[in-house]
Chain A
Amino acid sequence: MSAKVAIVGIGQTALRTSADDRIYHEHDYEAARLALADAGLDRGDVDTVICSGWDAVDGRTISDMHTAMSSGGYLKDSSHVGEDGIMALAYAYMRIAAGLFDVAMVTAHGHAESSFETVSNVVFDPLFVRPLGQSHLVSLALQANAYAHRYGVSDEQAAGVVVKNRGNGAVNPRTHLRSSVTPEDVLSSDPVCYPLRALHCPPQSVGGVALVLCSEEMTRRISEKPVWVTGIAWAIDSYDLGSKDLTSLSSLSSAAQKAYGMAGISDPLRALDLAELHDITPFHELLAYEALGLAPEGGASRLVEAGDTARGGRLPVNPSGGVVCGNPYGAAGLLRAAEAALQLRGEAGQGQVPGPERALAHGMSAPSGAAARTDCVVIMEGG
């Protein structure tokens, strides 16, 4: 791969519980305006727009009729992925790498106008699985249970992940839940879907995220603080929960191996300075460590216990607080890329990791939770 693509603009709106003052695509608009201002570009400089989101969650069809406009797409070449925004980043990357576009706007939004849980039931096949009440959360809980049972992950170890991330979120003014919690808080929180408790589960946050991507030539011309995408890959896993191993994330392993190959990484624990992971539950953050090759199978919780993934540890994971602190469904994966890029620019504020050079962002695009989940891994390096 000779093509070089950089993130040159980052836009995040404040995350909150609800937003009666605006309709969903206005989050894309606000984030896109922030990202353009951050990049020092105008709408006229953008030549392609990639939006994202799930129409069934937005409660309408063809949601990009709205979001493409709000993201600056008028009379331009736009497209829309029915995925988390991290996949819009992947698509924009390909368009620029093809040499056909120079400046791409990528947007994603999350809102609270519908229940992701209710809608996700309809992803499951109508004959065999849907009547069981299967959903995003239920499938993730099954996976969490399978993993915890196989490797003896304790409630205390899962709580440790939440405590770490909520502690990081407490100093991140950009996230939604900005208060730390104790292990006792987590262990005594209400059961939601065994083994998941209320404090294991992310909030449903409202807000928008936008990134501006540029070709190498354009980046050199306009950006003083580019963040280069040096590796990117994505993969999907199989749909039938009953016929796959739930105790590992094969799609994430596959994507990570390809992204590491592109970026020339052989020892990720050593090569990476921080990671922003899609911790949809604490068990899934642990599963991700293993899929990313940061820990041996079943060994992830030891990294947390040793403080290796704390903000001051060997490889800080989710210094932003992660998804457990802020979860705009459909934008949470793209938000990982935005937060990792801010870190590489040294602009993450109180949560800044000292002097990072290389970061990993992981976004999950999974309307059906653990079934046919897509994982996208982005390796980025500061300019």
Chain B
Amino acid sequence: MAKRVAIVGVGLTRATSHRVDVSYPELVYEAVSGALEQAGLQAGDIEAVAYGSMDPFDGVFAPERWNVEACAGAGVANLPLMKITTGGTTGGSTALAGYYHVASGMFDVVLAVASQRVGESLEAQLVLNTAVDPIYERWQGAGAITIAALQGVKHFWRYGTTEEDLALIAVKNYENARRNPYAHLMRMLTVEDALNTRVVSWPLRLSDCCPSSDGAVAVIFAAEKRARAIADQPAWITGAGQITDNYWAGDRTWYEDWDSLSMLARRVYRQAKIENPLVELDVAELYNAFSIQEIIEYEALGFCEKGKGAELIRNGVTTMQGDLPVCPSGGVLCTNPIGATGLIRVAEAALQVMGKAEDRQVPDVRKALAHAWGAVIGFHTLMVLSSEAP
């Protein structure tokens, strides 16, 4: 059966709209060198690389090729390198690939790297529009924002969620991001400010939508024996998986409920032996590219009943002081280098378990959840990290 695997090192980069101060390989090196330094490892300790990015969002195709030496000198050392692309879940899928590299027993120390320079793409939403069917759906302008707005409209209509609830989500994430030196948006936001920002696609206002960022992240996965030697407190993977929903946006029944995520959560919680996620999880890093999605994710992930997601934020349950802090990093709402974002969720969750999240640390984290969605809300990935080996 699967070997025990843990995360032993994390490297994050500063994120801005356009990191003009570094070339692409330099950006990736910033993340990789950070992870190696945190783990106390040398480039020569890395046995394989899993690399994630979404090509059409960069100004370069297959950027893992240009960046190959930034990944612990992978090209010169002829390391195994595998490129992963699955839309917004790319980072989550890259974490899963890193995990399977080690779980297979073929490798002991594996580097998962993900990067994106959205600042070099023409316009991210134009690129995303090419994901949907060219004949039936593309002309409608479908992309991430419009799909998220549909989720919002249905959630408002069915469950009575309001624009004020979305503003509460935005305010919580903006406040958290101010304690995270790797966040992109780091400014004060009040509920009044949020409700005064312009409407992007109703009911989503500007403060309900993520920025597009340049950034990279690196995470080192290790087999049990190496993990115990490298890290005082490794972040053990106790549950992991992906789910694939159907392609046609119109064929999906779940806009307000996100049942595919519920299905995946049940599978992953079973692996991780979690029965009551609200009680057992200490922190969650969710893929809240749009504020409404964080509310729907609370419900789909079983933090509350369907339709009750807004109550969690109204009651402060998911703030830093609450029972289950969600996105101490500020989440995707404040930082979104698309292909890297899912791996940043895993990295942040691992830092929480390892006790290395600095100013954004939640006290005594034993179990953390990392989530990503992608593919015009068709894919989800989840990973549960724990302070104790499975």
Contacts and interface: CB of A to CB of B under 8 A. Distances in A.
Interface of A: 1-3, 49, 54-56, 59-62, 64-66, 68-69, 73-83, 87, 90-91, 93-95, 97-100, 119-120, 122-127, 233-239, 250-251, 253-255, 367-368, 371-372, 374
Interface string B371-386: 0001110110000000
A57 to B, nearest CB: 8
B272 to A, nearest CB: 14
Nearest to B264: A77
18 contacts: A3-B105, A54-B62, A62-B87, A64-B87, A64-B375, A65-B378, A66-B247, A68-B244, A78-B86, A79-B96, A87-B83, A122-B61, A235-B78, A236-B68, A236-B81, A251-B78, A372-B66, A372-B68
A234 B81 CA distance: 8
10 shortest A-B CB distances, which residue pairs? A238-B75, A254-B78, A372-B65, A98-B103, A62-B87, A94-B104, A97-B104, A82-B83, A82-B85, A99-B1
A122 B60 contact: yes
Contact of A91 (B74, B82, B127): B82
Contacts of A77: 241-244
B106 interface: yes
A130 to B, nearest CB: 9
Contact of A372 (B75, B93, B97, B128): B75
Contact of B127 (A61, A97, A253): A61
Interface centre among B80, B105, B244 (most CB of A within 10 A): B244
B194 interface: no
Given A65-B131, A79-B93, A255-B80, 20 more contacts: A2-B105, A54-B62, A59-B130, A61-B130, A61-B131, A62-B85, A65-B376, A65-B379, A66-B247, A69-B244, A75-B244, A80-B93, A82-B83, A83-B82, A91-B97, A97-B105, A99-B2, A120-B61, A234-B81, A251-B78
B79 interface: yes
B3 A123 contact: no
Contacts of A235: 78-81
Interface in B120-143: 127-128, 130-131, 134
A138 B277 CA distance: 55
Which of A54, A56, A80 has the most CB atoms of chain B within a 10 A radius of its CB?
A80
Interface string B54-70: 11110111101110110
A62 B374 contact: yes
Size band of the interface chain B makes with A: 35 or more
A179 B127 CA distance: 42
A192 to B, nearest CB: 22
A81 B247 contact: no
A234 B244 contact: no
Interface string B81-103: 11111110000010011001101
Contacts of A74: 244-246
A264 to B, nearest CB: 16
Given A55-B55, A238-B75, A82 B100 contact: no
Given A79-B84, A235-B78, A368-B65, A97 B106 contact: yes
Given A80-B93, A236-B78, A62 B376 contact: yes
A381 B171 CA distance: 60
B61 A56 contact: yes
A79 B92 CA distance: 10
B101 A94 contact: yes
A95 B66 contact: no
A94 B97 CA distance: 9
Contact of A367 (B57, B61, B128): B61
A226 to B, nearest CB: 19
A65 B260 CA distance: 15
A91 B102 CA distance: 12
B103 A100 contact: yes
Contacts of B82: 81, 83, 87, 90-91, 234
Contacts of A81: 82-85
Contact of A98 (B62, B81, B100): B100
A60 B3 contact: no
Contacts of B243: 75-77
B93 A236 contact: no
A255 B77 CA distance: 12
A362 B174 CA distance: 50
